[in-house]
Amino acid sequence: MSGNRVLIVDDEVKMQRLLEIMLKKQGHEVLRAGNGREALALAEHETFDLVITDLKMPEMDGMDLLRELRALHEETPVIIMTAYGTVESAVTAMKYGAADYLIRPFEMETVELAVARALALGQMQRENRYLRDEVEKGWDEFIGRSPAMREVYALIRQVAPARTPVLVMGETGTGKELVARAIHKASGRQGLFVPINCAAIPADILESEMFGYVKGAFTGAQRDRVGKFELAHGGTLFLDEVTEMSTPLQAKLLRALQDGRIERLGSNHVIDIDIRVIAATNHDPQAAVREQRLREDLYYRLNVIAIPLPPLRERREDIVLLAEHFLGKHAARMGRTVPPLSESARRHLIDHDWPGNVRELENAMERALVIGPGDVVDAVHLPPVEMAAGTEARPRPPTGGDGDWALQPQIDALEKRLIKRALAETGGNKSAASRLLQISERSLWYKLKKFGLGAG
């Protein structure tokens, strides 16, 4: 945003004009009101980054205005000015959430400093509200030394300093958001990393999540809401599964990216934005264009630089490294010693195609910790090789007496016990049992028939 929107509230026109001149010199947009009621009427339909108000005014004084504003826009900082300052009024103002309390007459340098502090406070409150529990991730989350991943690392370092849009492509579970976070972290941009999953949010809500809205924009809009674009100002906006966005909304997204400005729903106030956009998809974007699920002009806007992520089956040399990382991560969370992987477990892991990629591998390691004895993770503690819907085990020749084939009776016995337990815990509900076992319902029916447990 080029500057901030500031509302000046004072019944003295001379003071209004003096503050307006100062603030406009600093590049801020300024609106003025002559009393608290007039200011409140503006605030019900407009949004401000800062309100500067006199304390003593007719109709509604500054303290009442402060209380109303905190209820309406709790993150908007308010500076109270007065020529009749007392300790009691200062304490009351701070109690109700005033960002600062200035005694008139004052030096303009004092006001400039108070404005800078208040604007910084407002920005910090918005960031804290949105990302209080967000853990910043980056390079430390990448595990892998394969040539394919080294190429990804090189691309990240190369594109990070630019503002150029990036399109990350890869199957589900390959780590597309980690790549986006790493680009943001290496970019040096001071703003937030703001992710939004276009597939997880209903189409009629996604627009308001992206652009925000003002009070009364639609039924249920009880107060103004900052959208993801504004939150990402100065930072990075990550659009995950962008091909799932409705085509009308894609047109609005394209316009925002081209113009570098947005409008909240229900408002005609234009907001300048400075964001770096990273999009991601687990589909072929060119196929999505052909099928008219992705606008061609938006595709070219987002696909300035493409980063394809390899599936786990194409970097098998990283599988054991990742598995050990996840064992350490979940063992620490459970307060347990990290068990080593046996040789048969390592072969079992490398042999699987991992259709769910890194995410599936992490789930498998957590499961092994839960069902294993704790001293070692063996092949019998891992899910069957057929861990995803329709995925069949790839036969391998026997590797010796202590290989996977020699362990097959133990694996079968463990599978049978786990299936019986799952059916007992779910009252025989096969859909619920398959979810508990983390296998497809089709796979469960196959196992029931194989072990003679009855598929009826």
**Residue 79 in contact with residue 116, Cβ under 8 Å?**
no
Distance separating alpha carbons of residues 361 and 380, to the nearest angstrom: 15
Average pLDDT, the chain: 84
Confidence grade of residue 132 (pLDDT, cut at 50, 70, 90): very low
18 or 90: whose pLDDT is higher? 18
Among candidate residues 62, 67, 69, the one with its CA nearest the CA of residue 34: 62
Neighbours of 248 (CB within 10 A): 10
pLDDT at 453 exceeding the cut of 50: yes
Listed in sequence order, the residues at least 6 apart from 413 whose beta carbon sits closer than 8 Å to its beta carbon are none
Written as six digits, the tokens of 442 are 């089709």
pLDDT at 198 over 80: yes
Question: Which residue pairs, CB below 8 angstroms and at least 24 apart, start in 41-45?
Answer: 42/7, 43/7, 43/68, 43/69, 43/72, 43/73, 43/76, 44/72, 44/215, 45/214, 45/215, 45/216, 45/267
> Token pair 């339909």 is at which residue?
45
What is the three-class DSSP state of 428?
coil
**Chain CA centroid to CA 168, Å:** 15
- Residue 239: the pLDDT is 97
Q: Which residue has the higher pLDDT, 415 or 235?
A: 235
Structural domains in the chain, CATH included, are: 5-131 (3.40.50.2300), 139-310 (3.40.50.300), 407-456 (1.10.10)
Tell me the mean pLDDT in the region 349-370: 91
When mean pLDDT is compared across 31-45, 186-200, 390-404, 423-437, the lowest value belongs to: 390-404
| The predicted structure's pLDDT at residue 278 | 97
- Per-residue buried b or exposed e for 364-403, using 16+ beta carbons within 10 Å of the residue's own CB: bbbbbbeebeeeebbbbbbbbbbbbeebeeeeeeeeeeeb
Which pLDDT does position 374 carry in this prediction? 76
Average pLDDT of span 401-428: 66
What percent of the chain has pLDDT above 90? 49
